[in-house]
Amino acid sequence: MSPQNTNSSNPAAVIVLAAGAGTRMKSRLPKILHPIGGISMVGHALAAAHGLNPERLAVVVRFERDQVAAHIAQLDPKALIVDQDEIPGTGRAVQAALEALDAENEIEGTVVVTYGDVPLLTTELLEELTATHQKDNNAVTVLTAVLDDATGYGRILRDATDGTVLGIREHKDASDAERGIKEINSGIYAFDAAVLREALKSVTTDNNQGEMYLTDVLGLARNDGGRVAAVATADRWQVEGANDRVQLATLGAEHNRRIVESWMRRGVTVIDPATTWIDSTVELDEDVTILPGTQLHGKTTVARDAVVGPDSTLTDVQIAERAEVTRTHGSGAVIGEGAHVGPFTYLRPGTVLGADGKIGAFYETKNVTIGRGSKLSHLGYAGDAEIGEDTNIGCGNITANYDGVNKHRTVIGSGVRTGSNTVFVAPVTVGDGAFTGAGAIVRKDVPAGALTLSVAPQRNDEGWTETHRPGSISAAAAGKSN
C-alpha cells in the first residue's frame, strides 16, 4: 500500500511504548518511572513527543499498569492509556495503540513510535525524522545511529544504489560482513498510518521469541511497494535506553553534562561542571555563579549575580539577585535579594529570608519569615516564627515551638536585639525594639522597647575544686593560682 499524502507537518499521532517490566533494573519502581535530571524517563519521552505537537498521543502500558498510568495522567491528562494484552512484542503494542486510536477516529497520516526509556531523545531529532518521512513520501522511516561498537544491535541494511533500507539484520543472524556495519536500528520510527495498519495484520509470532516484531513491518511495507528509508544520527545518546542501574547512571551523567553545558552557554558560570548537578526543571539567570559540589533540584530558581555553593544541595529554592548561599542544604525556601546563607545551614520548607538578611553557620530554619536586614548569624533554630526587619538574633537562640502535642508560633518584631542563648517559649510575642539578656527564657510577651532578663544570683563556692576534685589537674592549677 502506498502512503497517503498529508498537508500537516505535525504527526497524526505519537505512540510511546512503556509496557516493559524492566526486570534488570531490579526495583519495585517501574523502570520508566526512574528519574533522570529530576524527571522520570517516561516524562522525558512525553516531553519530546509533545514538542511535535501531535494530534493524538497514546502510551502503551502493562507492567505495574495502575502506577504507570497514574503517573502519565499527572504529566498529560489527555494522553490515551492503552493496555497491551497477553500477546508479546513491540508489534502488538503498536497494534493495540493504533486500534485504540482508530476507535475514536481512524488515524490518517504520520504515526511516530518511540519509547518510554529513551530519556535523551529530543524533539528536534523527532522533527527531523518526521520531516524526512513526509518530504520523501516514505512508507516507513527508521531512526538509526552510527556506533563505533555496534555489538548486539540490529544492523541497517541499505540498498547500495538509492540508500533506502532493505531490512534490519539482528546481530546474532548477521554475517561477518554485516557485523561490520556500524549503523544500527534505534527502534524509533515514523510510519504512514495506513501502511502500518495493513502491515500489522500480517505480522505473526512465528519466531524464536514468540513475539510480534515491529521490525517485520519494514519488510512487509517494502514488499508492498512502499519506500523504506532511514534518518541517521551521530548522537548515539539520543537513542540509548536504560535497562539497568548502570545504564541509568550513565545516561543521567550524560544528561547532566548537557544541561550544565547548556547553562554555561547561556551565561552561567559553573566552576566545576564535573561536580555540579542541575535538574531539567531548574531555572538560572545570566551571571549566576555555581561553585563546586552544588546540586540544584526541582523548581529551584537562581537570579542574576547570585552565588551558590560550594557543597550545597537545594530543592525548590528561590534565590534572588546578588544572594549568596554557601554550604547549605535547603528545600522549599525563598532567599531574598542580597541575602547571605551559610555555611552549614539547613533551610526547611517555609523559610523566607528577606532582602539583605542572613542565616548563618549551623542554623536550622522551618516555616519562618525573616524580614529585610535581619540576621540569625549562628548556632540556633527558628521554627514557626515571624521576625521583623533589622532584627539581630544572638548566638544560640531557639524558638521552642513544640509542646509535645502542638506547634506554636513566635513573633519577634523589628529592631529587636536578643542576647546569646535566648529561648523563646512559644506562643510568645516580642515587641519592636525590645532587648533580651544573655540566657533569657522568654515565656511571656515582651512589650516594645522593653528589656527582658532571666536573672539568678551568681554564687561562688571558693575552694570547691581543691575540696571536691583533689589530685586533679584542675585542683593543681587552682592551687598554683591561690
Q: What residues are paired with 92 via a beta bridge?
A: none
Q: Which three cell numbers stand for residue 57?
A: 498521543
How many Cα atoms sit within 13 Å of 90 on the Cβ side? 18
CB 227, CB 138: distance < 8 Å: yes
Contact 156, 185 (CB under 8 A): yes
Query: Who's near 376: CB < 8 A, 6+ residues apart?
Result: 358, 359, 360, 363, 365, 370, 382, 387, 393, 397
- 287 with 304: CB under 8 angstroms? yes
Q: Which one is catalytic: 340, 378, 408, 468? A: 378
Cell reading at 289: 555563579
The backbone region for 415, taken as left when phi is positive above 0, alpha when psi lies in -120 to 50, beta otherwise, is left
Nearest alpha carbon to residue 196 among 438, 464, 4: 4
71 is catalytic: no
Residue at 257: amino acid letter: R
Characterize the bridge pairing of strands 165-169 and 155-158.
antiparallel
The rounded distance, in Å, linking the Cα atoms of 482 and 472 is 15
Catalytic residues: 378
